[in-house]
Structures are given as C-alpha cells and as structure tokens.
Chains A and B, each alone.
Chain A
C-alpha cells in the first residue's frame, strides 16, 4: 500500500541492496530528491511531494533497510554514511543522469544529505540542498568539541540542553533492546504517540513497515554517530547552496546547533517556522513553497535576496493580509512584512491608498503584493474577499485586523448612529476577519497567526473616548478568547495595544457633540498633539512582527501604553483617576 498516488516506481540496485524509488511529475523539469528520516519511509513526504509535483520532477526513495528497499547483510556496518552516499549517487544517476538534483532531507535524511553535499565525489551532482531537522554529524562534532574546549556557562548550557534532547540516541546504542521495543509495543503505539505529541494529522501513515524500518534504522546511529562525533571531518564544506529550515519547537534538536553554520555553508538561506519535529507532515504547504522558491532561485542563477528584514527567515514567502493598510500602522505593517519577504494583501476602503501600499511593498521586497478595496464593516464584502483571497492567493498565514476609526466625545453626546459606525468598523471588522480567515487557517490545519489591533484605550478608561475604548476592550477580550480556542490548531492570536501613535486616525476621527467647525479644530489640534508625541507607526509594525515571532498574547507598544498596562494590573485606581481628566483638545 502506498500513499503516493500516481507515483511511477522503479528499483535501483546498488551495493548489495535494492532501493525502491518513486517518481512524480514531469521528468523534464528540475529534479527534486526527497530523503526521509528515522523512523520513517519515503511516504513521510507524500503531502510535500504532491505539492511539488506540479512544478518539478519529484523523486523519493526508501533508504536501505527502510520501506520496501532491502536491508544490507549483515546489518552492522551496512549503514555507514559512505554506503548511503553510494545509494544516493546510484539513485541520482538513475533518475537524472544529466542534470544535478536538488536535495531535500528531513531528520536522518538531512544528516546523510549533509554528507552527500560535503564530500568530493558528489560535486556537480547536487544543485542545492534544503535541510530540515538534521545537522551534519561532522558539524555537530565540531560544535561539541568547541563547547568542551572552552566551556563558558552559556556553552555548557547549550551542551547540556542538546545532550538532554538526544536521550533517544543513547537508547538506540543499546544492543537488541530498541529492536525488541519497535517490533513489539512501541511499533504499535508509535502512530498514537506521534498524533498526541507531534500533532501530526491522522492519515494512513506510518506505513505497515514501521517496525522493521525502525529496527533496521537503529544501525544508522550505531554505524555513524560515535565515530563521526569523535573524529569529525575537517573538510565538511558544502559545495552547493544550502537552505536551512529550522522548526523552533523541535524536541530533538536545539536551534543553537546551527549557530555557526555559515562557516560550513556560505550563502546560507535560513528559514524558521514555529512547529515541532515532523514538519513534512504538519507543514507541507510551507515546506513546498520554500523548497520551490529555493529551487527556482538556484535554477534562475540565484540573485541576491531582496528581502533583508529582520524576520525574513520567518515570514519569507508567507501570505499576509492586512486591513486598514492604506495608512498609518496598517501601511507600516505591510512594509515591514514586505521587507521580510512576505506576500502582502493590502486591504483598505480607500482603494488608491491600498494600491499605493501594494506598489511600494513590491519595491522593498515583497515577491507579490495585491490591493483590495473593501470596507471591513461590510460582511458580504468581507466574505467575498475571503473567497477571492483563498482561490487566487492561497490560505493566509498571517492576518492583521488593523482597520479602525476614532470616535471621541462624552457618552451622553454619542448618538446610537455614532455607536453603530464605530462598532461596525472596530469590532465587527475584527470579528469578520477572524471568523472568515480564522476558519480557513483552522481548516488547513497548518498553523497561522492572527493579530488584532486593539489599543491602550482597551484598559485605560477615559471620559473622552467611551465608545472607542469600549470597542477596543472588546477586541482585546475577543483576541484572548480566540487565542485559547485556536491554540489547539497551532494558530497564535496577538492583541496589539499601540498607545498614542502619529497616524492620520486623529484627522479622520469623529468628535461628538460639537459642530463641524469645532470638530475640524479638534481634529487639527489632536493631530498636532499626536505629531508632537511623534511615535512612529513603523515601531508599532516592528512590535507586531516581534509579537508574532514570540507568539505574545498582548503587546502594549508605546511607553505610556506599557505603563498603563502595568497600572491596570497593579493600581487600577490610578487609571480611574486619570480617566477623569479632561483631555486638552
């Protein structure tokens, strides 16, 4: 049984074993060779392979002793990296004799691919290498030695941390025990453990060969780990461009392992994603898009990366939708994402302003940017937008519900129409966004993030902004509740509370209970006050990106917003006093 639908299979005979090789896609396209890890078989890639097959010639094979490939006899000494390199060369020669292949490895597939990409005899056979969750044993050896030789507290911490994460490696070195466990109870419960611990989707994987895969694969460790860590090669330099994808919540490998990887792999492209170890199963969309982009850039002569933003490793190629992106914080956020290499959908009711944001975004690093003219308070328009975005651009990875309007004036002067307007935009706009795009994210099941722009007014009461503050308090609580609900789907929710930021919200805000002339005067006056405060929206945008990367729940931004946030917890009475002060507008 296979979960690789439409795959063409063939057998490659090499060094006493027969390897089962599957191919998908058009063989005239660049070849992408996927190498699986431990304890897996090539079917671990089925979701990724299906997505890549539209554009590339995708090749997968069962590593010797795994899946339907045969095992070497005897097992001991049959899994050395040298023999695995022979296997790789045999497969590459069979499926792509004339052109170098693009390697992609996960876990042990990545460990062995590092060997392939750093030894002399494969030069010219590898066009690029995408590594995930599997360091080179040689680099790892040097990493340990460096920390042993000069043990600073930080280095000792890193060493002990990784040492604890490698517990299973020690167990796999015991004789016979791992085999018995895998062929016995562990093999049976493994799928359930994976679903519970790693939250992989429940489909027909692992395949029935799991017990023997895992039993044979123990020799991968026994044949290589000790010898390589003790005497790491000193010439393990990559001879092809490398893309490193690091899952940040990996329980087996710490991030610091790759700290100095640039020494071994110049021109390294780094990617990070908030996920656990089995990313080929939990994040196939993201992996396929990064692999495809990397392969294309290498095939196209590898231009300098345009996205130079601080979080380019995290947001590169992701789809980000921002409402209220025609000005202020929304626009600055769009630019910050564009600099990080994200694809941007700029939504605003002012179509011209949204188009401008999209245009500038493309200039500063967004591979693609689109403008959509939508009023967030219009439910039908939002539904249409969600549909259009899903069909034309894909499922949104990050949603920023930022659109909002200002309303100032005493409660008794605020008409029900005023209330309706501000609620429609500030609260209903957020609800529509979360409901429609949150549903798409949850259905895809590959994580995501929602950011809602609340306000410091969400916890700072004031006599000047009763309606506005009410809507923002609602947004804050909505975000907190949503965060609890969507945590199971690995979707983060963040509420941003900026404070006084110099944007044009002041000049468009409504002031109740005064005539038009007085309203204009107050708008001007408050705009001037905010201008004097002069806190730039760019800093809020930075806080938004940081909040997503750290998955923070509530992010107060300006010093006054942070101060008020503290007071709201420890001295709310002070805030109530401040609330009674008449603002100077």
Chain B
C-alpha cells in the first residue's frame, strides 16, 4: 500500500517536473530569439505558440512578458497592467518571461529573467536571488509560519538594498498553490487565468478558510499558518530602481517527518540554479 502511494506520488511529481521543464525550455528558446524592437505582446505570443505546438491546451495563466522598468512593476496600480503591452525591447534592457502552462493535467508556473545583452544590475539581482531560494527552503523545512517566512524574505531584500516587488502581485503573494487540473476539451479563461485552475484555487481557498489555511502565501494574517503540504509555485521578485528579477518554480511540501523529505524543490536542474552553480 505504502509503495503504491509512493509510486503514485513520484509519478505525479514526474508529471509536474516534465511540464516545468517544458516551460523553462520554452522560456530559454524564446529568450534566445528576442531581438531589439520586439514587443511584449509578440513575445507573449511566441511563448504561447511554442507551447501550443507541444501540446499545451490549458493554462493556469497565459504567458506574460515584461520589458525594461516593467520588470520592476514601476507605476503599476491596477492588475491589468501586468498584461503584455507594445513596449519594445532595447539593447541592455532587462526582461522577464512568466508562464503557467497545463500539460497532461499537470500545472507549471515559471518565471525567467534575462536581458538583451549585458545588464549588470539584473545580473546582480539574479545572483542575490540565490540567498532567497535557500532561505525559503530552510524556513519551510523548519515549519515556520508562511507569514513569518514572507517577512524574513522581506528583511533579506531590505538588507540587500532591494524592493519587494512580489508585493505588487494580486494579494501580494510570494507563492501560491498549484495542483492537477482536469483536462477538458473546452478550457475558457478569465482575465488570462484558466477557469479550471481558478476553480481549483477557489476550492482550496474555501477548504482552507474552514481549516485555517490559505492557498495564497501572503504577508497577511490568513497566511499565518505552517506550510501546507502540496505544490507551491514560489516567486520571489526583487526590484531595484527600475530593474526587476525573479525566478518562479515549484516547491514540494509534504507531511513527511524527515527534514529533507518534508520540503524540496521539484527540480534543481533549472537555468537560474545552473547559473549559480557555474559561477561558483
């Protein structure tokens, strides 16, 4: 029985890992094709088409692309501003690609930061994100409350001299739960978010509300609970004077008593992780 459960779980994780890899592959391919003058809309479309060709039919959310100071969400007041615009990419400009495809019922939500040519500020931001990845995993394994972890990440950002830009996301979340999604022939979307995924999130929110937890990892009181087992798409987003950088990937939280097993990153073979390893 136990082995059956384990194998089922590992098969599930393999599915999530597969779609996350696919998404990162898409990000790297599209990033390599970016040229001066390309717009955010065109970039978002490139991502969408690339994934569609490889069998993606549903989305947690449609691909985003942010260029220049939009990577740091400068002047963002309403959520509609997250959607791709006609801003054109220029040499040296930072960019962020963010997409959440659903593939064979598994969801990924990834963020990829880069720049067209050299951008030393973003380079530095990416370097400094490593400490956040380590901090988050460590404190989740310690079973600290999500709100506390959020505040610790905040403090680390301030010490590094950066602004917290995930605060700009809806509900100011640094992470949210993702789950399996039933595949339907028709998958409508609401403001770029897949209705199936939204339904899952809403169901979680309802359960959580009754049981005292939330699928949104925010700075608010409703996140004042230990990490809930499941898959969390974690997205710390640093901003520094008009330049932003983030990564987003899935953190697996389990109810295991073993520290290592209680929480781990779904995949360690990702562009930003490889980058940190190479620089050492």
- Distance in angstroms between the alpha carbons of A339 and B161 in the assembled complex: 15
A504 neighbours in B (Cβ, 8 Å) = 158
- B158 and A327: CB pair below 8 A? yes
Point out which of B120, B159, B160 has the most chain A C-beta atoms below 10 A from its C-beta: B159
Would you list 23 pairs from A and B whose C-beta atoms are within 8 A, ordered by A residue?
A327-B158, A327-B159, A331-B161, A335-B161, A335-B241, A339-B241, A353-B159, A356-B159, A356-B160, A356-B161, A357-B161, A360-B124, A360-B161, A360-B240, A363-B120, A363-B121, A363-B124, A364-B121, A364-B240, A364-B241, A504-B158, A536-B163, A538-B241
Question: Which residue of the partner chain A has the closest CB to B219?
Answer: A531
Residues of A within 8 A of B158 (CB): 327, 504
Docked Cα-Cα span, A335 to B163, in Å, equals 13
Instruction: Give complex CA distance A364, B240 in Å.
Output: 10
Give CA–CA (A335, B158) in the complex, Å: 14
Interface size of A in residues (CB-CB distance below 8 Å): 13
> Which residues 490-507 in A have Cβ within 8 Å of B in the complex?
504
A339: chain B residues at CB < 8 Å are: 241
- Tell me the minimal C-beta distance from A503 to chain B in angstroms: 9
- Interface 0/1 of A324-365, CB less than 8 Å to B: 000100010001000100000000000001001100100110
Residues in B neighbouring A364, C-beta threshold 8 A: 121, 240-241
| Residues of A contacting B240 in the complex (Cβ-Cβ under 8 angstroms) | 360, 364
By beta carbon, the residue of chain B nearest A328 is B158
A558 CB → nearest B CB, Å: 18
- Docked pose: A335 CA to B124 CA in angstroms: 15
Q: Which residues of A are found within 8 Å of B161, using beta-carbon distances? A: 331, 335, 356-357, 360
Q: Chain A's nearest CB lies how many Å from the CB of B163?
A: 8
Majority SS at the chain A contact face: helix
Chain A positions within 8 Å of B, measured between CB atoms, are 327, 331, 335, 339, 353, 356-357, 360, 363-364, 504, 536, 538
CB contacts (< 8 Å) of B163 on chain A: these are: 536
Number of contacts between A and B (CB, 8 Å)? 23
- Name which residue of chain A comes closest to B158, CB basis: A504
Candidate in B120, B124, B158, B240 with the most chain A CB atoms within 10 angstroms: B158
Most buried by A among B158, B160, B240, B241: B241
Contact with A along B104-130 (1 / 0, CB 8 A): 000000000000000011001000000
Provide the residues of chain A in CB contact with B160, threshold 8 Å: 356
State the Cβ distance, A319 to closest chain B Cβ, in Å.
Answer: 21
Residues from chain B with a CB closer than 8 A to the CB of A327 are 158-159
Which residue in chain B gives the minimum CB-CB distance to A350?
B159
Q: Which residues of B contact A363 (CB under 8 A)?
A: 120-121, 124
Q: Contacts A364-B121, A538-B241 given; 6 further ones with Cβ under 8 A?
A: A331-B161, A335-B241, A360-B161, A363-B120, A363-B121, A364-B240
Give the 4 A-B residue pairs with the shortest CB-CB distance, closest first: A360-B161, A363-B121, A363-B120, A356-B161
Min CB distance, A38 to chain B, in Å? 45
**A357 surroundings in chain B (CB, below 8 A):** 161
Chain B residue at minimum C-beta to C-beta distance from A304: B92
Interfacial residues of chain B within 225-244, with CB under 8 A of chain A in the complex: 240-241
Chain B residues near A353 (CB-CB < 8 A):
159
Bound Cα distance A134, B212 (Å): 73
- How far is B219's CA from A577's CA once the two chains are assembled, in angstroms? 35
CA distance A237 to B82 in the complex (A): 44
Instruction: Report the minimal beta-carbon distance from B115 to chain A, rounded to whole angstroms.
Output: 13
Closest-CB distance, B72 to chain A (whole angstroms): 12
The residues in B between 157 and 186 inclusive whose CB is less than 8 angstroms from any CB of A are: 158-161, 163
A536 → B minimal CB distance (Å): 8
- When distances are taken between beta carbons in the complex, the residues of chain A under 8 Å from B124 are 360, 363
CA A336 to CA B199, docked complex, whole Å: 45
Q: How far apart are the CA atoms of A356 and B159 in the complex, in Å? A: 9
Q: Which residues of B contact A360 (CB under 8 A)?
A: 124, 161, 240
Render B139-158 as a binary contact track against A, CB cut-off 8 A, 1 for contact: 00000000000000000001
B85 → chain A closest CB, angstroms: 22
